[in-house]
Each structure stands twice: as C-alpha cells, then as structure tokens.
Amino acid sequence: MPNSSLTTLTARGLLLDMDGTLVNSDAAVERVWRAWAAEHGVDFADVLKVVHGRQGYSTMAVLLPDRPMEENHADNRDMLARETAETEGIVPVPGAPEFMAALAALPHALVTSADIGLATARMDAAGLPMPDLRVTAESVSASKPDPEGFLKGAVELGFAPADCVVFEDSPAGIEAGRAAGMRVVGVGERAAELEPTAHVPDLTRIRIEALPDGAIRLHLTD
C-alpha cells in the first residue's frame, strides 16, 4: 500500500467507542439533531462541532450555556427516544464485522455515550454483536470528554489504564481516552487530526493477534 505506515501496539484490554468507531450512525444522528437545532434556534453547523461522542445533555450544555441543566437532562430523555427509533441508514464502519469477530474471545468492552437502549438499537441495526461488557450512559455520572467511562471499562476488564487501548473517532472521546491515561487509536476522518496515539481510516486497516501470554497485539496500517 503506497505511502502507508505500520504501527504496532500491545495491550491487555480494548475499549471500544460505538458511534463513528464501530457503527456509522452519522445520518441518523444528524437527522435528529438537525430537528432539535431548528426547534431551539441553534445553528446546525455549531451542533456538528460538538455533538459527536458526547451524551445529549452535554451537547446541549455547550450549545445553550444559559439553560438550566435539569432542562438539558429532561430534553436528553426525549432525544434518546428519538435517536433509538431512528435507525434508517445505520451501517457498520468498514471492517467492523471482522474486527468484532477477531475480538470475540479477547478482553474488550464497549464504552459509549449512548444508553443501553440506543446502543442495542444501533449495534443491532449495524448487524454487530453487543460485547458482554459495556459502559453506557447509565453507568457514568459524567459524559465524555470526562474519562470516567473508560476508567470504568478498564476496571470491568480488570486491567490498569496503561494496559488498555481505546478506539475512538471524536474529539470528546479521544480527549477522554487520553485523560484516562490510555493509548488511543483514532478511527476515521474525524480522528485524523486529533493526535491519537495511532490512526486508521477504518477498521479494515487493523489486524488482531492474540499472544500466548494473553496480551493483544494490534497491527495498524494508516
């Protein structure tokens, strides 16, 4: 592959974001949030700058800084219902089915800003298996870019943060992974300029190797 380079990382556990990393839900997210922006008089271009990777109430707090947080949480419940029902156009990120199959017997967890209902709807729509271990919106008190979700994921897997690698696509998610003291593989165009530890255009560029001592070696081609 011309002008490509290979990066190798070794980890004990992998922590996987969902939207933009495993599942391409951009069309569904943008339909729902475009309607929200119109309802609240917010420029949709401003929404796009912050919506990816965050819980809805956190996005609202950035866009409507003077609105009481309890209103954001109430609005977020409505948005979750809308997003859970909006599955048209949701597809796996290229290489996601093979990537998840390669991880099936290896330590990994989903760490997503979606709640369990939304996560299940989107993983099902994309035809991807739901990991046995997952940290969803119900599991944390703070949204990405806070590192709480990734730190909880590491605890669930039983590994130190330094032994985990995060897969993320958004600025909020990459910031959260770094703040957790983890290495971050950036996936997709959004992640390319965010200075992750390594970057891949999609999941077809990753080869998973299970090592005899139980560690996981990642072979990444950019």
Token digits for 30? 């943008």
Residue 206 phi, psi dihedral angles, 5° rounding: -120, 130
How much is the pLDDT for 3? Answer: 60
Q: Report the pLDDT value the prediction gives residue 1, as an integer from 0 to 100.
A: 42
pTM (2 d.p.): 0.89
Domain ranges of the chain: 6-25+90-221, 26-85
- pLDDT tens for 59-100 read 999 999 999 999 999 999 999 899 999 999 999 999 999 999
Residue 158 to residue 33: CA distance in whole angstroms: 36
HSE (CB half, 13 Å, CA atoms) of 63?
25
The model's pLDDT over 117-133, given as tens digits with 9 standing for 90+, comes to 999 999 999 999 999 99
Instruction: Give the CATH number of domain 6-25+90-221.
Output: 3.40.50.1000
Residues of the chain with pLDDT under 70: 1-4
Q: Which residues touch 49 (CB under 8 Å, ≥6 apart)?
A: none
| Contact status, residue 128 vs residue 96, Cβ threshold 8 Å | yes
What are the residue numbers of the active site? 17, 19
Residue 168 confidence (pLDDT): 97
Q: How many CB atoms lie within 10 A of CB 207?
A: 15
